[in-house]
Structure 1
Amino acid sequence: MNLDQIKTISIHEYLAKKGFHPQRRNEVRGIYISPIRKDNNASFSVDFQKNLWYDHGMGKGGSIIDLVSEMENCSISDAIKKLESDSFSFHRESAIYNEKQEHPEQLFTILKVKKLGNFALIDYLNERCIDIDIAEKHCCEVYYSINNKRYFAIGFANNSPNSYELRNKYFKSCIGKKDFTHINNGAKRTVLFEGFMDYLSFLSMQENRHLSTDAIILNSTANSKRALDLLCKYDEIHSYLDNDQAGNKCSLFVQSYYPDSFVDCRKEYSNFKDLNEFLCWKNNEEKLGYLR
């Protein structure tokens, strides 16, 4: 990677991977507890559009390179080297997704499915603040190959036979047929999510860690049309989609078909990208409160 490419690494995503989430945010800017000094009041600003940061307490700011230099207490050249060596973790997910689109599905082969327990996957779920007992109940561990190279990931079954949504720290895709997931508890109300991490986040936020309604996890907003026939059976559809363009479009689409039953719950986490980001922030706030 050259210098310009390194500077395009998202500061927002980098901070999230390090466990820092905005205390307040809008579409343009996020305000954080400073990741580079002791800070009881959020005074660290990130401009999402310009991908620049500024610490108002220090009177200092700059690019992702300057930030890593400050956070890791290293030189600019060492910060560049760290970002170069870690860059796959920021770009691998989209790169492998594109690879999946370009190659026939038969190149993806399931080798083994087992109970979730791999330490690397558990660590990743802990980073995302997901309750491990909930993850073990709803997910599995999938070992698979792509072009004869072996991998493993958290697996979340969708409604198609032998098909799983896959997720690990560096990878997001699907093996088998892309489909939505229906959790059927025989209820007349359902909760609607885009991805299974948000579904697990929702359960992790419940006091009894139990789902009293049905749930529909789209696994992609592209599946919203396919889910319409199922959604029509519910008296209430409580939607927890993402706060982005795709989430807005999907919300309007479902609401246009079921205006009387659709409830947009995104106001509960309107300052965050999705429900999982809100959960991570909430947990971080509780830890800070405990330390105080």
Structure 2
Amino acid sequence: MLANILRTDMHAHRPLPQDGDLGRAIAVLARAQQYATWNRQQISNQLRSLLREYYPSALAAFDPWRNGLCRREAHELFKAAPTPAKASRLTRTQLQAALKRAGRQRGIDAEAERLREVFRADWSHQPQLVEDALGKQMLALLVQLEAACTAADDLATAVEETFPQHPDAEIILSFPGLGTQLGARVLAEIGDDRGRFADARGLKAYAGASPITRASGKKSSITRRWVKNERLNHAGYLWAFASLTSSPGAKSHYRRRRDDHGDWHAAAQRNLFNRMIGQLYHCLQHHKLFDEHTAFPVELAAAA
């Protein structure tokens, strides 16, 4: 059963690309890492919903931390105090010890003092028996979350070790907005078979980046594609969004679509993805790295 899950894309119901062994290995790892990331986020959302019910001080305490509920510091504190009543009784020494067990090395004293003040503030409480029961439920979710975090991190490490070995990795990573994880996802969906798509338009349609024009009599409409590779389309949205901060040409193109053409944010992002994936197809076919001035000559000239 596990082999069938890895062999088939359950989200888009598409099999793995029929490429070389390295390409297929990257596809398996990239998809597995994405599944693990989705699973981690789902369990994190369940834990957050439970904490809102009986432990709001924990949400306030971990809010300044990026991905607070997935951090080891939060896990150690939850184990030390699974209920707000126990958290309010934690001493500075106990808080510092929990932070050290999580691997924190800097700002331990100041962070322990901040956590102590948050936990000892006035918060609403459930009855004690109910609070204890919810604490046990939280610890059960915490076990699942820790396993999901470990799986996602281990698979991300495997992708980082495997993806750079692929011949197309240098070309893909030369594009703004594409890192190792996102680049591996893009490669996993488009494959490394040069003859898989007849031209760039085929790849754009497969990714759901190119629009559909429908005409009947004197009426015509342009709509986005509904039938597409959902994984590649999702990766493309993240790609286009990340490229706005790393590519002046991409940012200028996006602004032109918003200001001159009146596109909404999603439409402008999709148009930018359509252009970027067409350029990726060209670079892969001709074994060329991404060049900012070649990709966006008009946008760069206008920005200058």
State if a TM-score over 0.5 links the two structures: no
Specify which structure has the higher proportion of strand. 1
Give the TM-score of the pair, scaled to structure 1.
0.29
Specify which structure has the higher proportion of helix. 2
Q: Which has the larger radius of gyration?
A: 2
Give the TM-score of the pair, scaled to structure 2.
0.28
User: Relative CO higher for 1 or 2, CA cutoff 8 Å, sep ≥ 6?
Assistant: 2
